[in-house]
Amino acid sequence: MKIVIIGAGNLATHLALALQQSGEQIIQIYSRTEESASILANKLAAPFTNKINKINNESELYIYAVSDSAISDLIDLDIAPDAIHIHTAGSVSINIFNDKKRNYGVLYPLQTFSKNKEINFKDIPVFLEASSPDVLRILQNLACKISDDVQVINSETRLKLHMAAVFACNFVNYLYDVSNDIIIQTGLTFDILKPLIRETADKINYLTPYDSQTGPAKRFDRNVIDKHIQMLDNQPELKVLYEKLSQMIFNKHFHQP
Amino acid sequence: MKIVIIGAGNLATHLALALQQSGEQIIQIYSRTEESASILANKLAAPFTNKINKINNESELYIYAVSDSAISDLIDLDIAPDAIHIHTAGSVSINIFNDKKRNYGVLYPLQTFSKNKEINFKDIPVFLEASSPDVLRILQNLACKISDDVQVINSETRLKLHMAAVFACNFVNYLYDVSNDIIIQTGLTFDILKPLIRETADKINYLTPYDSQTGPAKRFDRNVIDKHIQMLDNQPELKVLYEKLSQMIFNKHFHQP
């Protein structure tokens, strides 16, 4: 299948590589900035452009893997009206294509992508939605080549899924970052937290997250909590966050014993 | 070495098992509740008691693996004055033993323990502190039998380490729990988040947590954030948490580009 990738960010990069490796033909990369377009295009040995009016008009599939706010403007362009146009965003409804494209859909890979971290796309759950059964069939064929876990969900479910992912990934990673900052102050290295982080993520394969909960907040051990909060005296935002999360953990375990 | 374990909770259980497997002799388990004492004692084929006045007086080492608030009362007991007495708490200073014991210390394993989840103790960083070089040498010999990563730190550093662990483990696990609750509402299962959770935890072995950050908060994509917050309308506490974490992530990445 001939594919144009609109976007050259983290997701666009990993998706384009996975599609090419599975035998699809990436015929062009478009990105607003020439540099990022060329970097991804080089990885794929594919042509690229940073000019909207130079986007290849003869592809079968256009994948809009750009920020949510950029999708709307890009699908307004009058490109290849008979092709399939899909976006990859968790929180953008399929209806964004209404009255703008004939054949369209969504291909949402539920994963965190960073350009410099390799990843096995086969393990990533991919969620599809399509404007018609015919388009869905084509997207399913495509998605099954790159992922072993392909499911069909609607836009409302995808939005909830995306929010759950923000908690389980983006917010979790921020807490890693906070713990890194604290560790660095002690002169120790972040490495000593890695077995703990690994085990915390592994445990939920054996116990529910609810049953996995440990620590002073669960017991509401005020003595420990106060010592920690005192150390955060010069970081008022973290102090509030620590208090809030501790209270929420305690409330959940106290009310659902 | 003859060891009495005071406590039969998650940490006591895993530590006692690791010590016995490394050839140490657990001669008694004490716990306030007979049931938990007997469960752990059965695993070790060791005697147990739930009576303070029946704690074996002839051991070489007493390990107080109980909640922080219980340590103080238990070390007030006049047991085996020449033995070594240690606690296992992240946030309790070694000074708690001052004027109460002659030989004492701390052995703090940095990990999350649940009784029904097996764990390889060898991978767990263990942090020691001791009342004298002699006691330290004995604790080092002991700790090196159960862990491949033994370090000496003072009480102040241990307290900071514990706080970092609360962020990297307890708070992280709570966010898993929140994401689980959201997923269940969609009719999907928590399993679909597991590749994402795994990758988020794995990524920090290759990138710093700061460089690993992705998602709408980092870009402060108000459009996505608003959609998510709107879905949390009937959960005001989660709504505040979502707002707060998003703001903190954005501030950190905006001010340190």
Segment A20-74, tens digit of pLDDT: 999 999 999 999 999 999 999 999 999 999 999 999 999 999 999 998 889 999 9
Residue A212 in contact with residue B173, Cβ under 8 Å? yes
Nearest beta carbon to residue A199 from set B111, B157, B231: B111
pLDDT tens-digit readout, A191-221: 999 999 999 999 999 999 999 999 999 988 8
Looking at the DSSP bridge assignments, the partners of residue A35 are none
Q: What was the pLDDT predicted at B219? A: 85
**pLDDT of res. B69:** 85
Q: Which residues of chain A neighbour B10 with C-beta distances below 8 Å?
A: 214
Q: Tell me: the pLDDT tens digits for B35-65? A: 999 999 999 999 999 999 999 999 999 999 9
pLDDT band for position B220 (50/70/90)?
confident
Q: Report the pLDDT value the prediction gives residue A254, as an integer from 0 to 100.
A: 86
Percentages helix, strand, coil for chain A, rounded to the nearest 5? 55, 15, 30
Check whether B99 has a pLDDT greater than 90. Answer: yes
Tell me the three state secondary structure of residue B245. Answer: helix
Mean pLDDT, chain B, rounded, equals: 96
pLDDT digits (tens, 9 = 90+) for B151-205: 999 999 999 999 999 999 999 999 999 999 999 999 999 999 999 999 999 999 9
pLDDT-based confidence at residue A154 (cuts at 50, 70, 90):
very high
**How far, rounded to the nearest angstrom, does the alpha carbon of residue B82 sit from its chain's CA centroid?**
29
A161-192 residue pLDDT tens? 999 999 999 999 999 999 999 999 999 999 99
Q: Is the pLDDT of residue A256 over 70?
A: no
Whether A257 has a pLDDT exceeding 80, the answer reads: no
A chain contacts of residue B218, beta-carbon cutoff 8 Å: 170
- Pairing mode of beta strands B2-6, B25-30: parallel
Q: Is A173 on the interface with B (CB under 8 A)?
A: yes
Min CA distance, B230 vs chain A (Å)? 11
The fraction of chain A above a pLDDT of 70, given in percent, is 99
The kind and range of the H/E element at B217 are: helix B216-219
Whole-number pLDDT of residue A115: 83
Residue B257 scores a pLDDT above 60? no
3-state secondary structure of B221: coil
Interface check for B110 against chain A (CB to CB < 8 A): the answer is yes
B167 in reach of chain A (CB within 8 A):
yes
What ipTM goes with this model?
A: 0.95
B119 CA to centre of own chain: 13
Percent of chain A with pLDDT over 90: 93
Q: Residue A219's pLDDT is what?
A: 85
Q: What is the pLDDT of residue A255?
A: 67
> How many residues can be counted in chain A?
257
- A205–B157 C-beta distance less than 8 A: no
Cβ–Cβ pairs < 8 A, chains A and B: 333
Beta strands in chain B (DSSP E): 2-6, 25-30, 48-49, 61-64, 84-87, 103-109, 125-130, 149-152
Q: Where are the beta strands (DSSP E) in chain A?
A: 2-6, 25-30, 48-49, 61-64, 84-87, 103-109, 125-130, 149-152
